[in-house]
Amino acid sequence: MAASIKHLLKDEAQYKVVGTLWIECDNERFFGPGRVELLQRIGETGSIRRAAADMGMSYKKAWEMVSTVNKQAVRPLVVPKVGGEKGGGSVITDEARELIAFHARLRERFLAFLERETNELRAEG
């Protein structure tokens, strides 16, 4: 049995290895693309409500996601804005920024893995 599967693939079709990746905390979702985007948008807008609206997500769901990640990390990732206007506003912490940066590097390594594996599909075995 050959190691390559090149001979099983159509010459004219495009095959690629794709996937999704996330970090779990005690077997529950902790940090993945959705939460990264939410935190980034909270950082940009200063508001959980606006970040949720921008993502087409309910405020309730966004608030629960924030509440969950805040408990999963050693320190909160989203905190109330100090001296913010009446009605609040939120900011992301340095810890959130570090996690977002780590996730970006992890994602780069994953994309490199997927690219290597995609090339492997047509490799000579």
Q: Which listed residue (53, 55, 79, 106) binds its own copies by CB under 8 A?
A: 106
Q: Can you name the residues that pair with 29 across neighbouring β-strands? A: 24
**Residues 9-48 vs its own copies: string with x where CB under 8 A?**
xx--xxxxxxxxxxxxxxx--x------------------
Stretch that binds its own copies, among 1-9, 40-48, 60-68, 83-91 (CB under 8 A): 1-9
Stretch that binds its own copies, among 42-50, 55-63, 81-89, 100-108 (CB under 8 A): 100-108
Query: Cα–Cα distances in Å, from 120 out to 2, 3, 20, 116?
Result: 13, 10, 19, 6
| CA–CA gap between residue 37 and residue 17 (Å, rounded) | 24
Query: Phi/psi at 61 (nearest 5 deg)?
Result: -65, -45
Kindly tell me which of 25 and 44 has the beta carbon lying closer to its own copies: 25
